[in-house]
Structure 1
Amino acid sequence: MDGFFSKVLDFMRNAESGIKIVEQVVKILDLMLTKISDKKLLLETNCLSTILLILQRGNSDSQIEAVRLLESIAVDGESKLKIGQKEGLVAELVKSLRKENPRLIEASLSFFIAITTPKRIKTVVIQYRIIPELKYLLSQPNTTTSITEKALELLEELSTCKEGRVEIWHDSVLLGRIAETVLKVSSNATEHAVAILWSGCYLFRDRKAQEAVASSNGMTKLLLLMQSNCSPAVRQMSGDLVKVLGVNYKLCLSNYDTKTTHIMPC
C-alpha cells in the first residue's frame, strides 16, 4: 500500500498532470483515507496547490472529495495552521458555501469546524468573511437540517474569539436568524443556537446582543423552549438568558392572548 500511495502522491505533487487526471487521483486518495498511515505527506505545498486547483476547476464530486481529504489531514494544530495559511485555500472554501450543492456545502462546513480550533485560524477564516456566508445559509428557506446544525456549530466556535464575538453579536439580523432556529430545526441546532445567545447575552453581557435577541421575540421562544423536552443544559442556559434580558415574565406574557398564558419558566 505504501508503494502505491507513493505513486499516487507523485501525481498530487504535479498539478501539470491535467485536471482530469488529478480528479481521479483525488478520488483514489479519498477511497484510501483510512489506509494511509502518514497523511502529513499531503501537507506538502505542491499537494495543497493541487487540492486548490481541484476546488477552483474540478467537478462537484472531486471538490467534495478534495474537501474531505483536507479535513482528514487536519489532525493537529500544526497541520491546521499549514492548511489555513495556504494562499487561496480558505478563500476558495468560503466561496463553496454559496454553491448550489448541499453535499459540498456540508463537507466545507465540516472542514471549517475541524480546522478552526486554533485562534489564528479562526481569525483567518473570519477575515475571509465566512460569517456573512453562514448568515446567508441560515436565511435560506431550503437549507437542510444538517447544514443548519453545522452552520450554528461553526458560529458557536467562531464566537469564542474576540473578532467573531464582535461580528456575530453586533449583527442584529444574524442574531435574529439564530434565535429563529431555537425551536424550529433540531435538538442539536437548538443547543448550538442557545449556546451562542447565552455567550453573548449572559456570559459577556453584550448590550447590543441583548437588544437584538429581545427585539426578535427571543423571550417567548426561550420560555417555550424551557417548557419543551430540552436537555438540562439548554434549560439552564435559557433560564439564564431570560433573567439577564431583564423582562418580567408577567409583563412579557401580557402582550399575548390568554391562549399563550400557560408559558411559564420551569
Structure 2
Amino acid sequence: MSIPYLFRCPISLDLFTDPVTLSTGQTYDRPSIEKWLADGNLTCPVTMQRLTDTTLIPNHTLRHLIHRWLLADPGVNCRHRPVRSAGDSDAGFSLLALKQKLQSSNTSRADKLDCLEKVRVLSVESDIGRACLIELGFFPLLLQLLFQYSVVVDSALAEAMLDCVLSLLASAQLDSLDMLKEHARLTSLELLLDQGNTKTKTSLCHLLKVIAASSATRELCLVVGESRRVLQALVSLLHDKSSIRASEAAVRAISGMCSLELNRSHAIRGGVVDGLVSHLSSPNPRTAAPALATLELLLTLEAGKKALVEHSDAIKVLVKMVFRMSTADHEGSEHALGSLLAVCCESEKARSEAMDAGVMTQLLLLLQSQCSSMAKAKARDLLKLMRSLWTEETRRL
C-alpha cells in the first residue's frame, strides 16, 4: 500500500489516524505527539523549536483529504491480500466493500464471518492496514454491530466481532465506546456477559479493563459500574474455577472499575468482596496481587469490612496470603496485610479468626524475609495489634 508522503506522520511514519497541528505549523498523529510530549519533550520533533504552547489543533482539512484518498480507489490503497481466494476480484477485497458488506442486512452470516476474519487479519498484520480501518470508521461500526440483541444468540459472530474490536482498540478513538451508555447497548453488553461463551466473556472483560483505564471513558465506566447485571456476571466469573483465564480477566476488569471511588459501593453490593475471596482461595492465582489491591480498596468502606468479616473463610485466606505473596510479589503481601489491618482494627471476631489461622507465625516469617519495607512496617503494626490477644492466649495455655 503506497501512502503519499504528506499523509504520513513524521514520528510514526504511518498513515495519520488523528492529525493535529502544533504551534510551529507541523502536523503529527495525535497518539505519536502526545507520547512525545508525555515523555517530557518540549520541542517540535521536526523543527526542534522550543514549544511555549503545546495546544494540539485538529487538522480537519488533512483528515478530509486522507478520507477522500482512501475512498477514491480502496481496491488499490487498502487491498486485503492475506486471505484472498482464487477468482475473487480486487474490488471484493477493498475496505469499502468490506464495510458495505458488514453494514448490509442482506449479507449472509457466512459472508459476515468471512469479512470479519479479513478485518481481523489486516488489523493484526499491518500497521498501515489498521490505520486505514480506523480512518474509515470500522471501530464504531463494529461496536454497533456487536452491541445489538441479535448478535447475543450467535456466539461465533460475537467472538469474531470482539476479536476485531480488541485488535483495533489501541489505535481507536475510545469515545466511540460511549454508545454503551445507551440503554439498549448496555443491555446487549449485559446479555453477552451473562449468556456468551467463555471466550466472549473473557474478551468483554478485557474491553471493560480498557474502559476503566482511560480518562476518555470515565463516565462510561461509572455507568457500567452501576449495572447490577454486569457486576453479577463478573462475580460469577470470579467464582468459576473451570476457566482460569476468564477468572483472571474478571479480576482485572473489576480492579479497573474499582479504581473509581464511586464504583466501590456498587461493587460491594454486587458481591465483589465474596468473589475476590473465592478467587484468592484458588491454588496459586496469578492475579492475586490485583485482587488483593482491589480488596484493600473496598475495605476503606464500612460495607466492605462488614462483607469481609461475614465471609467464613476470608480471614483465613488473607492470612495465607501474607507470607505466600511475600516470596513472589511484595506488593501483594502489602495489600494482604493492609486488608487484615483494616478489619482487625475494628473487629474482635476478625482478630480472633486471624489468630486461629496462624497470623503470628506468618508475621514472624515475613519479618525475617526479604520483603519490602512497607510490608514489614504493616507487619509490625499488625503484630502490635495482635500482641494483646496473643499474650492472653499464652497465659491461658
User: How would you bin the TM-score normalised by the shorter chain?
Assistant: 0.7 to 0.9
The aligned runs of 1:1-266 (5 Å cut-off) are: 1-2=134-135, 3-17=137-151, 19=154, 20-39=156-175, 40-45=177-182, 46-74=184-212, 75-76=214-215, 77-99=218-240, 100-140=242-282, 142-144=283-285, 146-171=286-311, 173-185=313-325, 186-187=328-329, 188-201=331-344, 204-247=345-388
Cα distance in 1 for residues equivalent to 2:312 and 2:158: 44
Between the two proteins, the alignment pairs up a number of residues equal to 251
Cα distance in 2 for residues equivalent to 1:115 and 1:66: 13
- CA deviation vs aligned residue, 1:42-98 (integer Å, no higher than 9, x gap): 433333333323222322222211111122122344222101123521111111122
Greater mean deviation of Cα atoms: 53-62 or 224-233: 53-62
Greater mean deviation of Cα atoms: 161-170 or 17-26: 17-26
* Letter of the structure 1 residue corresponding to residue 163 of structure 2: K
Residue 318 of structure 2: SS of its match in structure 1?
helix
- CA deviation vs aligned residue, 1:7-42 (integer Å, no higher than 9, x gap): 223313433245232322111101111011134434
Q: Cα–Cα, structure 1 residues 133 and 82, in superposed 2: closer, same or farther, change >3 Å? A: same
Contact kept in structure 2, 1:170 and 1:209, CA below 8 Å: no
Between Structure 1 and Structure 2, the one with more helix by share is 1
Q: 1:212, CA displacement in angstroms?
A: 1.9
Gaps of at least 5 residues in structure 1 are 256-266
Tell me the TM-score normalised to structure 1 length. Answer: 0.83
Q: 1:246, CA displacement in angstroms?
A: 2.3
* Letter of the structure 2 residue corresponding to residue 21 of structure 1: L
| Higher alpha-carbon Rg | 2
Q: 1:252, CA displacement in angstroms?
A: 8.5
Give me the CA root mean square deviation: 2.6
Greater mean deviation of Cα atoms: 211-220 or 169-178: 169-178
Higher relative contact order (CA 8 A, sep 6+): 1
Cα distance in 2 for residues equivalent to 1:59 and 1:172: 31
Cα distance in 1 for residues equivalent to 2:158 and 2:375: 46
Q: 1:219, CA displacement in angstroms?
A: 1.2
Q: Cα–Cα, structure 1 residues 66 and 42, in superposed 2: closer, same or farther, change >3 Å? A: farther
Contact kept in structure 1, 2:147 and 2:189, CA below 8 Å: no
Cα distance in 2 for residues equivalent to 1:207 and 1:112: 29
* Letter of the structure 1 residue corresponding to residue 343 of structure 2: G
Q: 1:105, CA displacement in angstroms?
A: 0.5
Contact kept in structure 2, 1:8 and 1:25, CA below 8 Å: yes
Tell me the TM-score normalised to structure 2 length. Answer: 0.57
